[in-house]
Amino acid sequence: MTPIALGLVGIGVLFVLLAIRMPVGICLAVVSFLGIWSVRGLNAAFGTLKSIPYDFAAHWTLSAIPMFLLMGAIVSQSGMTSSLFAAMRVWLGWLPGGLAVATNFAGAGFAAASGSSLATTATLGRIAVPEMLRFNYNPGLATGVATAVGTLGAVIPPSIVIVLFAIFAEVPVGQVLIAGVIPGLLTAFAYATLIVVRCTLNPELAPRINEQNRTFRQKLALILPIWPLPLLVIGVIGGIYSGITTATEAGAAGAVIALILSVLQRKMGWQDFKASLIETARSTASLMLVAIGAALLTRFLAFTGIPGVLSSLIDSLGAGPIAIILAVSVVYIVLGCFLDPLGVLLLTLPILLPIFEAADMNLIWVGIILVKYIEIGMLTPPVGLNVFIMKGIMGDRVSLVSIFKGVSWFLLAEVVVMTLLITFPGIVLFLPGLMEN
């Protein structure tokens, strides 16, 4: 059997193992090891298994991941999100669907601090959704906005997924992180516009709440407790954008600042800090297992020659960047319906990166587009990860069907956002271009 045939068999076996729910990291590692054994022999397989995990894990840029995770865990444990939602509710409650709009922007703020889509969804599910249901909001709208806005954690910096993409694509981490700012804000405003339009056309979705009895001074007082969160986000993003700090240094500084602010506000005890460290260690270990498996798969596919064949094929077809990205869009949407989002990215990058490079596509733009599709995959049935997180929090109070129906409206907003990002790459590349200048 030729190396290319062995590579195709390996990819087929990989999908079979994923279909039977074997952990993604284990699937990638096992298939890669056996594949290299088949192509190059047992010594080469053991040699790869000996060198790749260390070489990958020792990558300096990867140290940004546990730092960002620790920062997000501290923010979550300290309860900063509760104050953020309370302030947003009072200031935005006058809008049609005001509580949903408040949830949307509070979620965007928390996503920017945590870098975790699942953490954002879980937090909003505990804090914002019960509040909306108490005011007789439509359950689909209430859970839909909290579920959808959680995905902004994947694109608004600091984003763990973007860091991993940058490492695999060998592009500057800081530039890709900053490239996610405008698409993330655009998505948040698209969601808010959708909520206001729907609730204007159908006021029964979201009864108005009366906050008119609060004075301006009282409203202003609600902003004071949330000052650490914007300070933290601006500090991290500003440090990366200005070039004063690398992504790793920004993550470390963010974690330290978050801890100091939490302690000063007396919102972080020893048990909370311990829980943050445990959460960070678990998340880091899980991510690293999948990432190392993807690094092994990259080596296996390189040995088979499949990436070179695909690159030559794309080159011979003369497909342009838009055609390639649209084809990849279909692949990501389909895979996102069945596989873990991070698994989709790390599973496909070894195959797709040579194609992007052969077509001379801007990898920063490509990275944000792929991360956005991962974000969409976290909302699509039958395995919308964020939807099931929300269902677990809601229990019997809201049905799974209602959550999916609520989320489907936000997928319409994503169609508009993705059309803009694909048609006008400058939206993504504007801020990274300023960094270069």
Spell 140-173 as b/e; 16+ CB within 10 A means b. bbbbbbbbbbbbbbbbbbbbbbbbbbbbbbebbb
Q: b/e per residue, 196-233, with b = 16+ CB within 10 A?
A: bebbeeeeebbeebeeeeeeeeeeeebbebbebbeebb
User: Cβ–Cβ contacts within 10 Å for residue 20, how many?
Assistant: 7
The CA–CA distances, whole Å, from 185 to 23, 76, 387 equal 33, 21, 22
Token readout for 198 is 């729907």
Residue 290 phi/psi, 5-degree rounding, is -65, -45
pLDDT, average across residues 108-129: 75
For residue 192, what pLDDT band results from cuts at 50, 70 and 90? very high
Q: Collapsing DSSP states into helix, strand and coil, what is residue 339?
A: coil
pTM: 0.78
Distance CA 136, CA 139 (A): 8
Residue 75's pLDDT band (boundaries 50, 70, 90)?
confident
Q: Among candidates 259, 260, 251, which has minimal Cα distance to 233?
A: 251
The DSSP 8-state label assigned to residue 320 in this structure reads -
Least confident interval from 107-116, 263-272, 274-283: 107-116
The Cα 306–Cα 304 span in angstroms is 6
| pLDDT (average), residues 112-122 | 72
The DSSP symbol for 329 reads: H
Model pLDDT for residues 351-374, shown as the tens digit of each residue? 888 888 888 889 999 999 999 988
Does 169 score more than 60 pLDDT? yes
338 band by pLDDT with thresholds 50, 70 and 90: low
pLDDT at 198: 93
Q: Which residues contact 55 (CB under 8 A, 6 or more apart)?
A: none
Percent of the chain with pLDDT over 90: 14
DSSP secondary-structure letter at 136?
T
Q: Which residues contact 57 (CB under 8 A, 6 or more apart)?
A: 288, 292
Based on the number of CB atoms within 10 Å of its own CB, is 61 exposed (0-12), middle (13-18) or buried (19 or more)? middle
Confidence category of residue 310, pLDDT binned at 50, 70, 90: low
Contact 117, 68 (CB under 8 A): no
Residue 4's closest CA among 293, 310, 350, 295?
A: 310
pLDDT digits (tens, 9 = 90+) for 370-425: 999 888 887 887 667 788 778 888 888 888 888 889 999 999 999 999 999 999 99
DSSP 170: T
Distance of alpha carbon 22 from alpha carbon 14, whole angstroms: 10
State the pLDDT at residue 419.
Answer: 93
Rounded Cα distance between 179 and 157, Å, is: 9
Using CA atoms in the order 263, 90, 116, 417, what is the torsion angle rounded to 10 degrees? Answer: -150
Would the pLDDT of 317 be above 70? Answer: no
User: What are the residue ranges of helices labelled H in 170-215?
Assistant: 173-179, 181-201
